Structure 1
């Protein structure tokens, strides 16, 4: 990307991430921003990354606006690339993806249209909420702990701002040797259900890439689980949580855990989640 000599770039050290190198080149006439792919195994996800930049800067009027948008996209994608390692996604990220896929699978089984589900899937966009169906938000958690708890990773996850309702779904699973599901098998199940709709299948595969699920890493995703319990909670203003408006200035990325016993009164019937997007559920 070429810019005039007078344009300044942010400090590039803050934007370096795995598999990608970003550096400036200066000539007599212009400044150039180079983005290089270093790991060819990431070429599919790198293509989406570059496409995202091009789409965001397409309507920029000034060079400064284009630079700002470019580095906003780079910051977003740095989060993704930084969680990919050479042995696949960490087990923590696998569990996060497993929970989201279990929810998608349940909605498909309930007859919800695939394009509605996939367009509501916010996880790949690094949104605070995993799913948004209009003004209804869904946050999904999965744990295999013998002493389950709700692990909240930032102050935005349980914030109801700009939402009419927010629900939190907790999948409690256990490790098994057989008769269970793996990350790979769940992906395959959903792909089969989407196979008759090319656009939905393509969108699903793209969303998986955005979350760091790469075909080259499939050998690392054969840990088998079995569902034990599924709990659904209505997150209201009384729900025990930490949100941005409660934090002192300068404090962010607040992670914390909530005891299951502390939210017992907010539990609702799991079957209600099948009707969430129709606005039929109630506390």
Structure 2
């Protein structure tokens, strides 16, 4: 497996502004991991023939990253650059470039590799554009708190602890990703502080069990408190403490950033909650829901609410969810 992060970490000054290392694991393509020696910014470079058609790149640019090409005249080459502008996003950028390398490795031609690269860029653009540098809204905070509660539940269970951070897939680029994916089991997380709890579903994909053997929904019912509760900040500190390795902690921190959480905004995330009840539901074919294949052509992003009383027959205990993993 190509470890792009390790390549960057091991690069030594060469006297050039841009230090580059060829990625030998893909010998049929000219790919390089590079670093700006002055600024410390990372780059990914692919050198291709000038005959390779590269589309207009303005629609592929996004927050914290610049994408462009440069002609290399003597060699009749074009160099395709993905340049990290914001060093705070280094961990996310490593995952992004790692994904490109894994996807282009089977490519036969340079043209195929460029097309595959731009497809990966398009997916990650959605995630980078979701990063909110102005802080999380209250609803976003609640959603993240719910996912962290379940992540800690996985971390504290011997069966799932080792894979818990990787199982947190809600912020990943795949459009259909569930909040947590454990093998073929998907889990959606909901969090409410309403006095009359209900399940709020944001779109027709959330409760769609396509490509899954089982889908579960977990609802945390809470109430806001002034003290003696948990907050987004306290859950993040607790999670970092429980995670056992530096590598997993790094992945966890990158996923927090993809969710829009940055430590410098922590002063805004002290609101506290107390857990009243945890509901678990098996989202079977009979569970009341709206999914994509039920919608008329042209209708999408359908949000709706489900009354708890309507789904009481689908309640399962959290430990029964893990029994399916």
TM range (shorter): 0.7 to 0.9
Q: 1:21 to 1:198 in 2, by over 3 A?
A: closer
* 2:318 alignment partner, one of 252, 273, 279: 273
- 1:1-283 matches, cutoff 5 A: 1-28=46-73, 29-127=76-174, 128-195=177-244, 197-252=245-300, 254-261=301-308, 263-269=310-316, 272-279=317-324
Structure 2 counterpart SS, 1:33: strand
Q: 1:268 to 1:93 in 2, by over 3 A?
A: same
Q: Give per-residue Cα distances to partners, 1:170-200, cap 9 Å, x unaligned.
A: 11233332111122211211222224x4554
Q: What root-mean-square deviation, in Å, do the aligned CA atoms of Structure 1 and Structure 2 show?
A: 2.7
Show structure 2 runs of 5+ residues with no match.
Answer: 1-45
> C-alpha displacement at 1:168, in angstroms?
0.6
State the TM-score, normalized to the length of structure 1.
Answer: 0.83
Show structure 1 runs of 5+ residues with no match.
Answer: none
Q: Does structure 1 retain, via aligned residues, the 8 Å contact 2:63–2:128?
A: yes
80-89 or 200-209, larger mean C-alpha shift: 200-209
Q: Give per-residue Cα distances to partners, 1:197-245, cap 9 Å, x unaligned.
A: 4554444334434434333333333232222332211111122222122
More helix by share: 1
Higher gyration radius (CA)? 2
Distance 1:250 1:13 in 2: 28
Which structure is higher in RCO with an 8 Å CA cutoff and minimum separation 6? 1
Q: Does structure 2 retain, via aligned residues, the 8 Å contact 1:231–1:267?
A: no
Number of aligned residues? 276
Q: Give per-residue Cα distances to partners, 1:20-47, cap 9 Å, x unaligned.
A: 2223334542333332333333333333
Distance 2:72 2:224 in 1: 58
Q: Does structure 2 retain, via aligned residues, the 8 Å contact 1:167–1:234?
A: yes
